[in-house]
Amino acid sequence: MSAGGVAFWGRDGRLPGETFQVAAAENGDWLVQKNGSYEAWIGVGDTVGVEVEDGSWAAAEVTNLWWEGSEARCEVRWFYTVAEVPRQCRPPEAKGFVETDVMDEIPFEAVMGKIDVEADYLYKVGQRTLIAVDARLRRKRCEALSKKHVHQQQQPDEGATLLDACVAALQLRRAPRQLKRRERERAQIEAFVRESVKAGSGRIYISGMPGTGKTATVREVAQRCEDLDFDFVEINAMRLPRPAHAYTLLWQAVSGEVVAAEAAARALEKTYSRSCGAERMVVALVDELDWLVTKDQSVLYNLFDWPTRNARLAVIGVANTMDLPERLDAKVRSRLGCRRACFQPYTREDVLAILEDRLRGDLITCFEPKALDMAARKVSAYSGDVRRALQICATAAEYATDVVTIADINKAYKLLSDSPALNAVKHASDMERFILLALCVQLKRNSDDEHLAFSSLKDKLVAIVSHHAADKLVPPHTHLLAILNRFSDARLITLTFLHPNHRFPHISLNTHPDILAENLVSTGDPLARTLLGGPANLRGGGGGGGGVFR
Amino acid sequence: MCWTRREIMEVQMPIKERLVVSPVKLWRKRRRESESSSVPALFGYEAQEREVYNRLKRAAVAGESTSLILCGYSGCGKHLLLARVLERLEREKEVPDYDVVHLSGEAHADASVALREVVRQIAARTESHRLASRYVDDLKVLVDELHRRRAEESAPLLVVLSRLELFASEHRQTLLYVLLDAIQSKEGCVVVVGITSDRHVLELFEKRVRSRLHNVHVSFGHVDARAVLSFLDDRLLASEETPYAVALAESWTRVKASPEFARELEDAIAVGMPVAWHAKVATLAVAALAPRAPLLTVEGWLRAVNDNSPNRSANWIKAIAALKPARLALVLAYLRFERDDKTDYNLDLAAKELAKLRQLNASAVCFHDDVLLKAQAALISMTVLKLGKKTARADARALEPATLRYAPVRLTGAVSLEDLFTALRQGALDCPTVLRQWVLQDVVA
């Protein structure tokens, strides 16, 4: 295929008015032929001169080339001259050109020829900031900015082992383009998006525990529906300092303007009160929806009311709570509508399939089949959170030497589940250990009262040391207070003055005495075993973990 | 032997700098001056250093995002260890350098403030010439910065969150969510290191934030005596071999060999004193060196230990013994109430008891009401007494006389009553005999 246009080359701005021909070469570069004599291969990454509307030229970097029908088009990133950068942002030593973050699609016929450009700064037009950059990494920055560039997964280094490659493959950010085991939910959401875009409005509420793929599935559907004409905006309520900031983000998607929350709310109300609604269809993913709940629930009301006005707006609300709509006011609940999608926690088979999908090819050989199954069982039994499964397997692969076994999985699971409080008990000094034992014994004895008086603790401490560790000294008063303050700072205990007139605070454990007892006994301390008994004497229990946030 | 002041300062100054080091200031100094300054060594935490080093190196080389929590008692060396690891990584040519953003839970717990600070620190590093002005702009700057790092395959941005529990105590946990969410996004390129002394910090995390956390803890326990000695040797032994440096090293060896030092060290280890405490003792000992006595001595070291433990009974006894007569009389009156297991006493009751004593024994000093009121206010200000009820006024001297007179008080819990009685019996409190006998009457030895 070929196209024609005006050709130009050189840096001095002259327009010779010659014509050129473009032909596509097999390697993807395009050939510019001027009157059959001038030739230049222009490929992605080349800096070119581009003719602009007023007849002058501008420097740009080519990021993509493609044909649309018979028209050759390209995506470029513009360079500014230093004079075009606002004076207050301009450092005195900058000269020549600066990179920008402004991308554009232009017809290839506007490209006049290759030029050389040197730029040591990047000007971010939207933020009006200028930063010094490494010119050698220009191409990478370009790829990052390009909307059309297909980002390749970073390949592991040549020297990396298979286990290293497993760790890399199991990273959270390496989610596949298509999530496994969410086919039904994906179809449901895709149907919603297509219907909403066609109808010009729609509301759906998606619920599910953390790590079940809700947001990832919606993003995937938005990419699959690229053939439809709509803008996709993500509003994450947990990223906003106030719920009303959601209006700012939505208005920015609708109009491109960034204004304060109240002004954005007024503008959105005005826009969506018009009979024709907004100019373009917007599909808004509102993530962590429960964080938008305010006292008057006005933000939620508006976000789900606007789509009911034929406003060219569809809202997808996502949260963890299945019955969130039922907890809202009736007027908000009715606007949320009845359309729901529920993401169930992943089952053992689901988690296993996802892990196997990540560990494709040779990578799966690094794991014993039973090890992967064990990881899947542990995660599905507890939360069904696939993030946890990936973290456990990645951690196990970090510690494994050859092949990841069940023991590695168990070790990784324990490492990621154990509370740091357990380590405080394991590594306690002599006096700290006595104090913890005294606390535990007294609190287990007075199981009705969660507060222990300082004098009781001191008496018990003296009894323990004198009976069981006669070679050790009872901690002096100030040391005892220092240790208790340290425990309080670490939130192992809480010190509370039950009455302002008390000389000493009362002490309460921030974990159940049985759990502390279990941890003390598990350290192998014979005194702990003597005072607290073996595992058979401990109530509750389960695992060696701290367990305080099971 | 005599050394000149210059010789002494040339040896003592580097020692003092090594002892008093703030890793945060060290990072900023290194960034500003672009010269490598060595982070002092840490002992007893080799396994922890290895773990942190391996994780950060893997993240830097692979460009992977991750998170890490360093958890241990205050003063155990968490920040110092992190600074050491970063310095080691900087020295390795094949490892891309981290850019470090440091946030503190005390100042930056609010998400807007934190993001502004992140943008400011990034802008300072990249010589950017204008700062964003709104939260959404700040967020975009951070996202763009992470995106650029991912694109350029540079090292991730390292965000250090000191006092992590304060960030997690925020109602919305917005900053934590933003940073931890970036870990799992394709464009994110960030390593989050949380530093905390709160052993139950995970309970504070909202479930969605916790789901995004790489729950890897590096726990810091207590160091043993050998590690403490290695630490003190590293700080106190000068690298120079000047005559004074050699003499100082010998004096340090003598101090270490003394039984008193060994006893104090054993005591401190048994209590679980952190490394920072030992560093402070060494700092005080070195600071007390005078031109006329420039060498370390056992007495000097013990004095430094004592000064570093203001709440020791001996210090309290000394402070109470140094009280003015009216103040001491009140303290003894309250001690008498405690002896009789009375828990609700006040100045009025104490004044009446002192008046009764005066009637019984004319040699007892009579204190005017105004004097007792001033003494009471002073004792509350000095925290020898604690008020038994909350008042709106922070300064005891601003309390109304009626409040001062009738407000219930208690002797501070920081001092042991047994130790006070013992001191009284031994005559360490230096009070009139009549008062002493009055308090000790009916005391069971």
CA distance B360 to B366: 12
CA distance B390 to B393: 9
**What's chain A's average pLDDT?**
81
Q: Residue type for B75, please?
A: G
What is the pLDDT at residue A7?
A: 38
A482 CB within 8 Å of a chain B CB: yes
Q: Would you call A168 and B178 a contact, using CB atoms and an 8 Å cutoff?
A: no
Tokens of A459: 């008496």
SS3 B9: helix
Interacting residues of A27 by C-beta distance below 8 A, sequence separation 6+: A43
Per-residue pLDDT at A10 exceeds 50: no
What is the pLDDT at residue B9?
A: 87
Residues of A whose CB is below 8 A from B198: 489-491
> Does residue A524 or residue A418 have the better pLDDT?
A524
What is the pLDDT at residue A40?
A: 67
For residue A123, list its beta bridge partners. A100, A130
Within A288-427, strands assigned E span: 313-319, 340-343
Average pLDDT over residues B7-36: 71
**What's chain B's average pLDDT?**
86
Residue B26 near residue B39 (C-beta atoms within 8 A): yes
Average pLDDT over residues B156-168: 93
CA distance B87 to B76: 19
DSSP state of A367: B
Closest CA to B234 of B276, B279, B194: B279
Pairing status of strand A57-68 against strand A71-81: antiparallel
DSSP state of B170: S
Q: Does B45-220 carry CATH code 3.40.50.300?
A: yes
CA distance B198 to B204: 10
For residue range B270-296, what is the model confidence (pLDDT) as tens digits? 889 999 999 999 999 999 998 888 899
Average pLDDT over residues A33-43: 60
For residue B208, CA distances in Å to A129, A137, A179, B181, B205 come to 34, 36, 20, 9, 8
Per-residue pLDDT at B190 exceeds 80: yes
CA distance B70 to A391: 18
Dihedral pair phi/psi, residue A99, rounded to 5°: -70, 160
- Region of residue A152 (phi > 0: left; psi between -120 and 50: alpha; otherwise: beta): beta
For the four alpha carbons of B387, B389, B390 and B391, in that order, the dihedral sign comes to negative
What is the pLDDT at residue B305?
A: 93
Task: Scan for tokens 């609604």, then name that residue.
Answer: A277
Question: Which helix (H) or strand (E) covers residue A435, if one does?
Answer: helix A430-445
What is the pLDDT at residue A87?
A: 74
Pairing status of strand B190-196 against strand B157-162: parallel
For residue range B171-185, what is the model confidence (pLDDT) as tens digits? 889 999 999 988 888
Per-residue pLDDT at A375 exceeds 50: yes
Neighbour-count burial of A308, counting CB atoms closer than 10 A to its CB (0-12 exposed, 13-18 middle, 19+ buried): middle
SS3 B221: coil
What is the pLDDT at residue B196?
A: 95
> Does residue A90 or residue A410 have the better pLDDT?
A410
From the candidates A419, A431, A506, which should be mutated to test the interface with B, based on the most B CB atoms within 10 A?
A419
Tokens of B170: 């925020």
The CATH code of the domain at B314-441 is 1.10.10
Residue B127 near residue A132 (C-beta atoms within 8 A): yes
Residue B111 near residue B177 (C-beta atoms within 8 A): no
For residue range A449-463, what is the model confidence (pLDDT) as tens digits? 889 999 999 999 999
Tokens of B134: 């709104």
- Closest Cβ–Cβ partner in B69, B127, B152 for A132: B127
Dihedral pair phi/psi, residue A337, rounded to 5°: 80, -175
Ordered strands of the A47-51 beta sheet: A111-114, A47-51, A57-68, A71-81, A97-107, A119-124, A129-132
Between A464-473, A508-517, B429-438, the lowest mean confidence (pLDDT) is in A464-473
Helix axes B111-125, B135-152, angle to 10 degrees: 50
Per-residue pLDDT at B169 exceeds 50: yes
Per-residue pLDDT at A192 exceeds 70: yes
CA distance A331 to A305: 9
Residues of A whose CB is below 8 A from B388: 500-501
A550 CB within 8 Å of a chain B CB: no
**Nearest-CA distance B430 → chain A (Å):** 23
CA distance B103 to B117: 8
Q: Where are the alpha helices (DSSP H) in A328-385?
A: 330-336, 348-358, 369-382
Confidence of residue A49 (pLDDT cuts 50, 70, 90): confident
Per-residue pLDDT at A1 exceeds 80: no
Residues of A whose CB is below 8 A from B127: 91, 131-132
What is the pLDDT at residue A5?
A: 36
DSSP state of B415: S
- Closest Cβ–Cβ partner in A172, A427, A479 for B222: A427
Most confident of A166-180, A422-436, B243-257, B355-369: B243-257
Closest CA to A301 of A351, A227, A243, A217: A243
CA distance B181 to B191: 11
Query: Over the Cα atoms of chain A, what is R_g?
Result: 32
From the candidates B76, B200, B267, which should be mutated to test the interface with A, based on the most A CB atoms within 10 A?
B200
Neighbour-count burial of A310, counting CB atoms closer than 10 A to its CB (0-12 exposed, 13-18 middle, 19+ buried): middle
SS3 B307: helix
What is the pLDDT at residue A4?
A: 33
For residue range A294-345, what is the model confidence (pLDDT) as tens digits? 999 999 999 999 998 877 899 999 999 999 999 999 999 999 888 999 999 9
Q: Would you call A210 and B208 a contact, using CB atoms and an 8 Å cutoff?
A: yes
DSSP state of A7: E
Question: Global pTM?
Answer: 0.82
Closest CA to A63 of A106, A97, A24: A106
How many CB contacts within 8 angstroms connect chain A with chain B? 238
CA distance B56 to B156: 10
Q: Would you call A141 and B153 a contact, using CB atoms and an 8 Å cutoff?
A: no
Share in percent of chain B as helix, strand, coil (round to 5): 60, 10, 35
Q: Would you call A154 and B153 a contact, using CB atoms and an 8 Å cutoff?
A: yes
Residue A314 near residue A307 (C-beta atoms within 8 A): yes
A105 CB within 8 Å of a chain B CB: no
DSSP state of A14: -
Between A15-24, A484-493, B115-124, B142-151, the lowest mean confidence (pLDDT) is in A15-24
> Does residue A477 or residue B36 have the better pLDDT?
A477
What is the pLDDT at residue B290?
A: 84
Helix axes B259-271, B243-257, angle to 10 degrees: 70
Tokens of A261: 């929350």
Residues of A whose CB is below 8 A from B114: none
Q: Where are the domains of chain B?
A: 45-220, 224-308, 314-441
Q: Least CA distance to A137: which residue of chain B?
A: B152
Tokens of A490: 């670490």
CA distance A464 to A527: 9
Interacting residues of B410 by C-beta distance below 8 A, sequence separation 6+: A501, A502, A503, B334, B343, B345, B385, B386, B388
Q: Would you call A124 and B416 a contact, using CB atoms and an 8 Å cutoff?
A: no
CA distance A465 to A7: 94
Helix axes A369-382, A406-417, angle to 10 degrees: 30
Q: Residue type for B280, please?
A: K
Question: Which helix (H) or strand (E) covers residue A120, if one does?
Answer: strand A119-124
What is the pLDDT at residue A305?
A: 93
